[in-house]
Structure 1
Amino acid sequence: MISNRRHFFRQLTGLGGAMMLSGTSFDSWAETEASSVKLTILHTNDTHSHLDPFPPGDRNAGKGGVVNRARLLSQIRQQEENVLLFDAGDIFQGTPYFNLFHGEPEVQSLSMLGYDAITMGNHDFDGGMELFARQIRDHATFPVLVANYDFTNTPLKDIVKPYKLFKVKGLRVGVFGLGIQPKGLIPSKLFGDTVYLDPLQKANEVAAFLRNEEKCSLVICLSHLGFKGNASEIIDPVLAAQSRNIDLIIGGHTHTFLPEPKTYKNLDSKPVIVNQVGFGGINLGRLDFTFDRVSKQVFSSGSNLTIG
């Protein structure tokens, strides 16, 4: 069976040596006769309403900003045919833009920049679920993905989905989101009747579905769990080590500036790439995956790019 084959995942730059990736289907490429397909994954996290570059005098002066991000995204899209763009949460709260306009320009900017999906951070609840739902409904051209929040009895019931499937030149890319434990971070009146579900359990459940039922060549988690924390918390490195079927974790919450993506081994000793690019829209994460149908290998490289 194709889903049971084992394929090599070789890191070319910054990510280490040759490793194994299982479940990649190379026989589903009905849309192309090419011997290989390159997929570029771009991502941000914790932009926190920073629509302008950081001001003079700040240690990050001139960096970030929606215009600078748009320019960099345009350059990459001109160079690469297959690009997906994601955000790992906390698009709200952090500058007067949120206080004055209540999230509308943040969501509009993500739509104009062509984001393909985002997940929710704890600060995305700061204006209440009704506000978040209205801004997404009125201004978003992308889905919001969270698999471990049950929004059944909330205004986000029909707004937030657990996962989305993307088809790129015959490749199937499954993407799902995870939200952080709200206790101590999100006021109960703002979290409302949302039910928090164990992120590790939901991650394994959704990733198995995407890999085995949807036959995804790549499974990506948009995580707002954080890169570091105490021993009892499910953070991204713990999620990587205690999961199956996840290939890439795009992280947020802890504002961690990783110089390059890191790789961990999961429960099956398969590699899981983890990346996070700080806060404020200063950096853009980039990972390039080349799926080679002839050699049955997947090659990847990763780098974190400064915006501005």
Structure 2
Amino acid sequence: MRRRDFLKTTAVGAAGLSLVGLPFSADAAQQIKLTILHTNDQHSRIDPFPDDGRLYGGMGGMARRASLIEEVRKQEPNVLLLDSGDIWQGTPYFNFFNGELEYKLMSQMKYDASTLGNHDFDNGLKGLENKLPNATFPFIIANYDFSKTILKNRFQPYKIFEKQGVRVGVFGLGIELEGLVSKNNFGETVYQDPVQVAKEMVQELRQNQKCQLIICLSHLGYEYKDEKIDDIKLAQQVEGIDLILGGHTHTFLDEPEVVRHVSGHETLVNQVGWSGIFLGRIDFLFNRKSKEKKGISTALVPVDNPVLTS
């Protein structure tokens, strides 16, 4: 099963960021609300697209996104800001600064974590190593083995965040680099089977680390017609992931897709296009005592509001 009726709120303006009509109880004392904000495939888009009549003209821009994020944080006490890779490549900013500016701006926005995309290897392992000090947030990747490279021990497979007692486990998965990235750029980095690694991550995070919510930052791609692993297949084959935040295919989803594993476990799969045109938002509600999920709401936030950027 891959479909379910979801409440979708498209937020426009500061007032729109307060999601209305949520299927949440008014008894806030018994609830914990967790807000996930996410991006993917930013591709060095620092400025908005030129407002010249093109598709998405006038949209995007890191300053606007920062204002939106700041507004959400003012309203919500428990926010995680995540990214699904391909931060680099696509504008002259990358050609001139080699990724330094992107990392610094994301750090200013206080990203909590990102995973690695294929374009994050465009300056090779040494280029990536050189720019990592500019990022105050961790890069999380579970299925790349860097043990034979200069990046050994520089990345972690997962990270746990705790918000009012709710433990959130976040792990990362990257796409196969062979044939997509020059061998000179990824060197002896070893790609490991995402499905097997994801099963191991779920076991570790659910059983050993006692996480109530498991999030996968994926740069595998949304869905392919062939047998290549993607986010939909991952959700179908791996039980226990609650949310897959995807990248690579630049897929615009108005709302998350629900994929049901044969066990009955349901996984949300989401992706918000590319270049920071939209900011994804997913709100989870937990019972304060049991920490069980009690409600979900989603919003696709366009990054084009002049009120928040003036």
Structure 2: tracts of 5 or more residues without a match: 10-27, 305-310
CA contact 1:11–1:299 (8 Å) conserved in 2: no
Structure 1: tracts of 5 or more residues without a match: 1-9, 16-32
Hey, what does 1:170 align to over in structure 2?
Answer: 165
Compared CA separation, residues 242 and 14, structure 1 to 2 (3 A)? farther
Using the TM superposition, give the Cα deviation of residue 236 of structure 1 relative to its aligned residue in structure 2, in angstroms.
0.4
CA contact 1:243–1:267 (8 Å) conserved in 2: no
Give distance in 2, aligned partners of 1:128 and 1:11. 43
Task: Quote the sequence identity (%).
Answer: 51
Using the TM superposition, give the Cα deviation of residue 98 of structure 1 relative to its aligned residue in structure 2, in angstroms.
0.5
Write the deviation string for residues 61-119 of structure 1: whole angstroms up to 9, x where unpaired: 11110111011101111111100000000000000000010000010011001100000
Hey, what does 2:270 align to over in structure 1?
Answer: 275
CA contact 2:6–2:255 (8 Å) conserved in 1: no
CA contact 1:208–1:244 (8 Å) conserved in 2: no
Using the TM superposition, give the Cα deviation of residue 277 of structure 1 relative to its aligned residue in structure 2, in angstroms.
0.2
2:13 is the alignment partner of 1:13 = no
Hey, what does 1:101 align to over in structure 2?
Answer: 97
Q: How does 1:1-308 map to 2 (within 5 A)?
A: 13-14=7-8, 34-57=29-52, 58-136=54-132, 138-293=133-288, 296-308=292-304
Give distance in 1, aligned partners of 2:207 and 2:183. 37
Give distance in 1, aligned partners of 2:82 and 2:34. 13
Give distance in 2, aligned partners of 1:207 and 1:90. 24
Give distance in 2, aligned partners of 1:91 and 1:135. 12
Partner AA of 1:204 in structure 2: K
Give distance in 2, aligned partners of 1:186 and 1:126. 8
CA contact 1:200–1:242 (8 Å) conserved in 2: yes
Q: Which has the higher strand share?
A: 1
Give distance in 2, aligned partners of 1:255 and 1:223. 12
Hey, what does 2:12 align to over in structure 1?
Answer: none
| Superposition RMSD in Å | 1.7
Using the TM superposition, give the Cα deviation of residue 266 of structure 1 relative to its aligned residue in structure 2, in angstroms.
1.8
Write the deviation string for residues 185-209 of structure 1: whole angstroms up to 9, x where unpaired: 1111111000110001001111111
Compared CA separation, residues 12 and 228, structure 1 to 2 (3 A)? closer
Give distance in 1, aligned partners of 2:151 and 2:164. 32
Give distance in 1, aligned partners of 2:205 and 2:5. 23
Query: Structure 1-normalised TM-score?
Result: 0.88
Hey, what does 2:15 align to over in structure 1?
Answer: none
Moved over 3 A (4+): 293-297
Partner AA of 1:300 in structure 2: I
SS of 1:145 mapped into structure 2:
coil
Give distance in 1, aligned partners of 2:273 and 2:37. 14
Partner AA of 2:126 in structure 1: E
